[in-house]
Amino acid sequence: MTPALHIATVGDDAFVPAAVCDTAPTVREQLRRQDPARLREIDACMTAAPHVLPAWVVGRGIDLGQLDRLTQDLALDGLPPAIRRSSRARQLGYLGGRLCAETALLSLPDRRGDPCAAPAATLAAAIPIGDGGAPQWPEGVIGSIAHTRDGAWAVVAASAACMRLGIDSEFIVDEGGCRDIVTLCCTPRERLRWFEVADPLRATLLFSAKESIYKAIHPQVKRFVDFDEMEMVGIDALPGLLCLHFRATPEGPLAGRIPALRVHARLIGDRVHTAIAEHQD
């Protein structure tokens, strides 16, 4: 990764001339060039991500209704062509996810001399769409992005500190959604153990956890992973959160390749937020 020439901070208005910046401009930079005051308003809307995260992971979130109002009159020429051609909802999800990710990167502590610190020069880098739709993180960083129709979130960590990172957020499904998850996303053992009685919340948790796991393990497995390749083997209720235990399905191709994984879940209103964040040993 060629070092960017400028390390911005949230709300920083210093201009990076395109001619000396040899990476694609970040979404933040594209918006700042159009309207610095608007970028400050967007920054003011940023929140912490609601996912359960260890201290060495930085997470940010944004309400997509607010982002819609704040970006309606702005040009989106710098976004990837596929996103420019997409629906406004998809554009907002992409914009929101990238803005959260870029803002989280700027907040990643620049711990010089700390082996777990991300290289400082990467923190203002753009995040292109990589293999299989996965975000292509700057060198020395890993992260994950999730969005629903009304919110977007991103988490980042130094890859020297973090081995696997994945988040997901979902609205709790209705009974039909529960049936679909049980039919399409569960192993026979999971159906027997967890869904003798229909349970939309549990189904949503299982689904969201598997999506978090997919995002977290994709950089390692580098292929599509089916829902029956991992299975939920335990649920612990802790104060204010749940800890879901997964293993690679013993008969499946990930057995022996992916260790037991813990996904933490937080339930807020009608949404669940799941996260997996594994420290390097």
Alpha helices per DSSP H over the chain: 27-34, 36-45, 64-71, 81-84, 88-107, 175-184, 188-194, 200-221
- CB proximity list for 267: less than 8 A, separation 6 or greater: 201, 242
Q: Does 137 bind ligand COA (CB under 6 A)?
A: no
Q: Does 51 bind ligand COA (CB under 6 A)?
A: no
By CB under 6 A, what part of segment 174-213 binds ligand COA? Answer: 210-211, 213
Q: Does 99 bind ligand COA (CB under 6 A)?
A: no
Residues in the chain: 281
Q: Does 94 bind ligand COA (CB under 6 A)?
A: yes
- How many residues touch ligand COA under the rule CB under 6 A: the total is 22
Q: Does 133 bind ligand COA (CB under 6 A)?
A: yes
**Interface with ligand COA (CB under 6 A), residue from 161, 214, 232, 275:** 214
Q: Which amino acid is at 179?
A: R
Q: Identify whether the C-beta of residue 139 lies closer than 8 Å to the C-beta of residue 124.
A: no
Q: Does 147 bind ligand COA (CB under 6 A)?
A: yes
Could you tell me the strand order of the sheet in which 58-63 lies?
47-48, 58-63, 151-158, 141-147
**Interface with ligand COA (CB under 6 A), residue from 25, 61, 135, 138:** 135
**Interface with ligand COA (CB under 6 A), residue from 28, 32, 164, 218:** 218
Q: Identify whether the C-beta of residue 225 lies closer than 8 Å to the C-beta of residue 252.
A: no
Footprint of ligand COA on this chain (CB under 6 A)?
Answer: 93-94, 97, 129, 132-135, 145-147, 168, 210-211, 213-215, 218, 225, 227, 229-230
